[in-house]
């Protein structure tokens, strides 16, 4: 598997509409979906070529997996904060020591210990404010920092074609991510022969994503393409060992545990082909020999656009990025299954960034190393 780290910068405002259809106030996503990146590159390809076999393999054969591009500071990569992330309810990360993770406390701490963990540890807050859910994207090389692109609201009005004047009562506005915002993500390819083709395409940037592309919005420039980026996480056996060592410090727990954290939205179907929106045991994820202990599910609704038909894809419910599942591993093969899920991804539409997962993300245990 080839993995490239792509860094892009917005050189005009980005309107990546979070909801489909006309809305008076259209919100923007704060990340660039993999489907938008794939669509932008396909557009560049078709400007100079045709739908030949290379096009088919790059964009239609699921050989090349385009990532969601998450906000970055141009130095570190970011990841969604898991649903278990907690910080001071009142002061958020102005009390940086309050940033913690609830997965292990909720499962393993005694009632008293959990109560004391729930209080913000800042001296000004102690016992007055509790830790509460915090959302966003965290910079991975600096666990105390959450990154949020700047946005602004742009107002517009419909134009009456007959008179070329503003249509009465048809004011609308949308939020946009401001120019200068940076994003990054890792493209995965199983096929080496496609790499040259893709490299050429990326050189032909700027790419165009989102709404208003014909009016100069949504322009992305490629800042960097690292073709052999360093590993993002420690090796899986090391993470599993540390995760379990921390659990062992909290409680003399028997057995081995693993956390599965969704890095992007995951689209799965059950045996009756219904979308999976919650997990009751490991089998829904294709994981055997593991008992589900805790689930923190973020709801998600996947949109999409079928460019060939010029029609929207049906909205599909799924499991949202940041969802966390804690498993007790009963079978020796479960660890190998988890490793395969992390490498290959799970579920549908992986070429558009869906289905990326992490096993024992250090975020869940880092704050407790040392047995606090
Ligand atoms: Zn506080």
The length of the chain in residues reads: 372
Residue 81 Cα to ligand 1 midpoint, Å, equals: 19
Residue 133 Cα to ligand 1 midpoint, Å, equals: 13
Residue 127 Cα to ligand 1 midpoint, Å, equals: 9
Annotate 295-306 with three-state secondary structure: EECCEEEECCEE
Residue 365 Cα to ligand 1 midpoint, Å, equals: 21
What is the rounded distance in angstroms from the CA atom of residue 18 to the CA atom of residue 32? Answer: 11
Residue 31 Cα to ligand 1 midpoint, Å, equals: 28
What is the rounded distance in angstroms from the CA atom of residue 340 to the CA atom of residue 82? Answer: 21
Residue 104 CA, distance from chain mean position: 22
3-state secondary structure of 111: helix
Q: Which residues contact 131 (CB under 8 A, 6 or more apart)?
A: 86, 87, 88, 89, 98, 100, 102, 117, 118, 119, 120
Q: Give the pLDDT means over successive 10-residue stretches in the chain (372 positions).
A: 93 87 81 94 88 88 92 87 94 89 91 90 85 90 77 87 86 90 94 86 88 89 92 93 90 84 95 91 88 94 79 89 95 91 94 96 84 49
Residue 124 Cα to ligand 1 midpoint, Å, equals: 7
Residue 88 Cα to ligand 1 midpoint, Å, equals: 4
Q: Which residues contact 236 (CB under 8 A, 6 or more apart)?
A: 335, 338, 339, 342, 359, 360
Q: What is the pLDDT of residue 21?
A: 67
Residue 115 Cα to ligand 1 midpoint, Å, equals: 15
Q: What is the pLDDT of residue 142?
A: 61
Concatenate the DSSP letters of all residues of 30-95 into one string.
SSB-HHHHHHHHHHHHHHHS-S-HHHIIIIISS-EEPPPBEEE-SSS-EEEPPTTEEEETTTBTTS
Residue 233: CB atoms within 10 Å: 15
Given a contact cutoff of 8 angstroms between Cβ atoms, the answer to whether 264 and 34 are in contact is yes
Residue 114 Cα to ligand 1 midpoint, Å, equals: 16
What is the rounded distance in angstroms from the CA atom of residue 334 to the CA atom of residue 14? Answer: 42
Residue 198: CB atoms within 10 Å: 22
> What does the DSSP 8-state code read for residue 141?
T
Q: What is the pTM of this model?
A: 0.92
Residue 118 Cα to ligand 1 midpoint, Å, equals: 11
Q: Residue 16: which of 171, 186, 151, 134 has the closest Cα? A: 151
Residue 242 Cα to ligand 1 midpoint, Å, equals: 28
What is the rounded distance in angstroms from the CA atom of residue 230 to the CA atom of residue 20? Answer: 37
């Amino acid at each position: 598997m080839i993995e490239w780290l792509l860094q892009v910068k917005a050189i005009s405002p980005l309107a990546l509409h979070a909801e489909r259809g006309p809305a008076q106030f259209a919100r923007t996503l704060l990340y660039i979906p993999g489907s938008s990146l794939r669509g932008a590159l396909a557009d560049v390809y078709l400007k100079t070529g045709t739908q030949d076999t290379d096009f088919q393999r790059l964009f239609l054969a699921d050989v090349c997996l385009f990532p969601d591009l998450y906000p970055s500071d141009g130095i570190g990569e970011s990841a969604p904060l898991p649903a278990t992330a907690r910080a001071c309810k009142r002061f958020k990360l102005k009390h940086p020591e309050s940033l913690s993770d609830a997965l292990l406390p909720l499962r393993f701490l005694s009632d008293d210990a959990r109560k004391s963990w729930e209080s913000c540890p800042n001296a000004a807050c102690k016992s007055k404010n509790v830790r509460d859910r915090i959302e966003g994207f965290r910079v991975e090389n600096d666990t105390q920092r959450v990154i949020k692109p700047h946005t602004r609201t742009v107002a517009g009005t419909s134009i009456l074609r007959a008179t070329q004047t503003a249509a009465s009562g048809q004011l609308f506005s949308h939020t946009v991510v401001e120019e200068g915002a940076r994003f990054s993500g890792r493209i995965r390819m199983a096929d080496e022969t496609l790499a040259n083709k893709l490299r050429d395409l990326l050189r032909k940037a700027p790419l165009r994503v989102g709404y208003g592309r014909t009016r100069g919005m949504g322009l992305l420039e490629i800042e960097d393409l690292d073709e052999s980026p360093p590993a993002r996480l420690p090796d899986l056996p090391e993470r599993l060992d540390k995760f379990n060592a921390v659990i062992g410090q909290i409680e003399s727990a028997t057995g081995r545990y693993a956390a599965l954290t969704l890095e992007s939205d995951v689209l799965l179907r059950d045996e009756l082909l219904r979308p999976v929106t919650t997990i009751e045991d490991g089998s829904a994820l294709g994981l055997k020999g593991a008992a589900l202990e805790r689930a923190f599910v973020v709801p998600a609704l996947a949109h999409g656009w079928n460019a060939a038909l010029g029609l929207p894809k049906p909205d599909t419910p799924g499991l949202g990025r940041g969802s966390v599942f804690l498993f007790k591993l009963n079978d020796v093969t479960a660890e190998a299954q988890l490793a395969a899920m992390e490498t290959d991804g799970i579920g549908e539409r992986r070429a558009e960034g869906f289905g990326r997962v992490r096993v024992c993300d250090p975020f869940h245990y880092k704050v407790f190393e040392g047995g606090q």
